[in-house]
């Protein structure tokens, strides 16, 4: 989805209504239809049946979107209003309004329809009070989910600044476009998971940022579709250099994630000390091959080389062997974890076919210059290194010199070890099946986030899901 200024959306909507092609109520009803469909399709909401919907409504039309959506869930609705509803919002009530103060309970769906992206400046006291009440209700209600309509109340749509109180949403439904302020570093705690709701009725909008946000329309088109005559050697071969004593699990998860993402053949190379452990524990479909040194690895048939998960500290001779292996490889090279640390320590120069997947700490080792906003860190690194960079975080950013994309999926339940190893394996599998470096990184980040959302919901919304649980859900989300 495009990133556009809030003003451009308002102007396009006004032009639509002025033309007589559609009324504001008709557009609202279409938005509500899409909101319902998108919410029910979210893996993190699979099986979620709210006990009650609580709507916090302001005087604008995004209150009508929230009220209309609330009516679709077939459960009691509580409406908390600030001022008089707009005519279109009032038309959505359908006799369901209940104005009592909501009490905490399990399984609430809380909808933020207080202010839309047209709001500017600090919150008025009555709105700030409602924001505090909403956040307190969210915090006190187990297994409940909060959805912000268009933008969380209290967050500036253009700058991302929060003046005092702001809604902490689990999901924000960005209608028509993603506003720039929603992607600013630190805005993630207000926005939560981004859900893109198209608004084709308003036509093409001018972009405020050449980057875009991954959505469920574009990314599935990147996934390769197999010919009926496909066999294992045509389904992609992934070579993985990973694992060491005490960190065999990283190698295992990377290899098994590549299998789950459809790689036809996965070959795992390791040094002799860790070979007995890996050979005994990895999936039977993975070929585990011990080598006396990394210089002995020869993989002319692989399309992808993954270096790094669980390698441990690499000494100079071994580092030079890995550098020569990567630089001489003709396909896609994925550097993760200790592969990144080795590249940083020994001054490797990434090449156009390489994908680097650092978390913020690894990024600081790759580029030790002063920390700036993530988008600038990525642009600064790519100005000197022509590769694909996937900077992991609450809103992972995938970029090369031509384009940039923010990932929309996943959540804080992925904040644990092993998730990056899984991601590296999925990137490798998709690249081996024909995706380019950027496309493989973008699709893999999106798929891993979706798989984690699905695992989180199926497990009953625990604080965290294990990386192995994510692997288990990959086939379903890739399907």
pLDDT per residue as tens digits for the range 301-352: 999 999 999 999 999 999 999 999 999 999 999 999 999 999 999 999 999 9
440 and 341 within one domain: yes
pLDDT score, position 340:
98
State the CB neighbour count (10 A cutoff) for residue 64: 27
Q: Are residues 316 and 461 in the same domain?
A: yes
The answer, yes or no, to whether residue 424 has pLDDT greater than 60, is yes
Phi, psi of 210 (to 5 degrees): -70, -15
Q: Which of 39, 38, 33 is nearest to 53 (CA)?
A: 39
Contacts of 386 (CB under 8 A, 6+ apart): 350, 351, 352, 400, 401
Residue 293 CB contacts under 8 Å (≥ 6 apart), including other chains: 271, 317, 318, 321
Q: What is the CATH number of the domain that holds 193?
A: 3.40.50.10260
Percent of residues, the chain, with pLDDT higher than 70: 99
Strand partners, 147: 111, 171
- Unique residue bearing structure tokens 């644990």: 416
In a domain, residue 218? The reply is: no
Domain boundary among 170, 188, 213: 213
| Together in a domain, 190 and 252 | no
Tell whether 261 and 353 lie within a shared domain.
yes
193-197, strands of its sheet edge to edge: 77-81, 52-57, 108-113, 145-149, 171-175, 193-197
219 within domain boundaries: no
d(CA 98, CA 137): 16
184 and 242 housed in the same domain: no
pLDDT tens digits, 235-255: 899 999 999 999 999 999 999
- Regarding whether 330 and 205 lie in a shared domain, the answer is no
Same domain, 136 and 259: no
Q: Which of 226-235, 238-247, 464-473 has the lowest mean pLDDT?
A: 226-235
Q: Is 249 among the domain residues?
A: yes
How is 419-450 classified by DSSP, letter by letter? Answer: HHHHHHHHHHHHHHTT--HHHHHHHHHHHHHH
Pair (32, 143) in one structural domain: yes
Per-residue pLDDT reduced to its tens digit, 67-104: 999 989 988 999 999 988 888 888 888 655 566 788 99
| Domain residue limits at 266 | 225-478
- Reported as a single tens digit per residue, the pLDDT across 337-392 is 999 999 999 999 999 999 999 999 999 999 999 988 999 999 999 999 999 999 99
Give the model's confidence band at 122: pLDDT under 50 very low, under 70 low, under 90 confident, else very high: confident
Instruction: Report the 10 Å Cβ neighbour count for 128.
Output: 18
Whether 39 is in a domain gets the answer: yes
Domain count, the chain: 2
Q: Dump pLDDT digits (tens) for 268-295.
A: 999 999 999 999 999 999 999 999 999 9
Residues 191, 62, single domain; the answer is yes
């Amino acid at each position: 989805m495009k990133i556009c200024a809030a003003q451009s959306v308002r102007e396009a909507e006004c032009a639509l209504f002025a033309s007589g092609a559609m009324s504001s109520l008709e557009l609202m009803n279409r938005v509500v239809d899409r909101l319902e469909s998108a919410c029910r399709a979210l893996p993190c909401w699979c099986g979620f049946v709210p006990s009650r919907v609580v709507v916090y409504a302001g005087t604008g039309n995004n209150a009508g979107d929230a009220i209309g959506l609330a009516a679709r869930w077939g459960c009691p609705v509580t409406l908390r209003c600030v001022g008089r509803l707009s005519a279109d919002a009032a038309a959505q009530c359908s006799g369901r309004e209940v104005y009592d103060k909501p009490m905490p309970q399990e399984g609430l769906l809380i909808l933020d329809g207080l202010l839309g992206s047209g709001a500017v400046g600090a919150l008025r006291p009555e709105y700030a009070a409602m924001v505090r009440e909403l956040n307190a209700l969210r915090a006190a209600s187990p297994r409940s989910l909060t959805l912000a309509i268009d933008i969380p109340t209290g967050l500036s749509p253009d700058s991302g600044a929060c003046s005092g109180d702001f809604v902490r949403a689990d999901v924000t439904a960005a209608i028509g476009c993603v506003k720039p302020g929603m992607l600013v570093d630190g805005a993630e705690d207000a926005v939560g998971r981004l859900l893109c709701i198209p608004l084709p009725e308003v036509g093409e909008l001018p972009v405020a940022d050449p980057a875009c946000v991954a959505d469920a329309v574009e990314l599935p088109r990147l996934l390769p579709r197999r010919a009926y005559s496909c066999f294992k050697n045509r389904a992609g071969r992934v070579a993985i250099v990973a694992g060491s004593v005490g960190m065999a699990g990283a190698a295992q998860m990377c290899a098994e994630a590549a299998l789950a993402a459809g790689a036809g053949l996965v070959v795992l190379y390791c040094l002799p000390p860790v070979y007995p452990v890996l050979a005994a524990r990895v999936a039977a479909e993975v070929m585990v091959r011990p080598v006396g040194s990394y210089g002995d690895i020869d993989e002319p048939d692989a399309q992808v080389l993954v270096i790094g998960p669980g390698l441990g500290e690499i000494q100079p001779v071994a580092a030079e062997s890995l550098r020569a292996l990567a630089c001489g490889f003709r396909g896609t090279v994925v550097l993760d974890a200790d592969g990144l640390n080795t590249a940083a320590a020994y001054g490797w120069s990434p090449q156009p076919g390489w994908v680097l997947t650092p978390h913020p700490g690894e990024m600081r080792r790759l580029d030790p210059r002063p920390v700036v906003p993530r988008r600038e860190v990525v642009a600064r690194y790519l100005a000197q290194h022509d590769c694909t960079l996937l900077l992991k975080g609450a809103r992972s950013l995938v970029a090369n010199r031509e384009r940039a994309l923010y990932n929309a999926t996943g959540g804080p339940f992925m904040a644990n070890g092993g998730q990056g190893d899984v991601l590296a394996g999925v990137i490798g599998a998709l690249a081996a099946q024909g995706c380019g470096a950027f496309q493989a990184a973008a699709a893999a980040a999106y798929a891993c986030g979706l798989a984690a959302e699905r695992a989180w919901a199926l497990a009953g919304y625990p604080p965290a899901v294990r990386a192995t649980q994510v692997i288990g859900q990959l086939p379903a989300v890739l399907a």
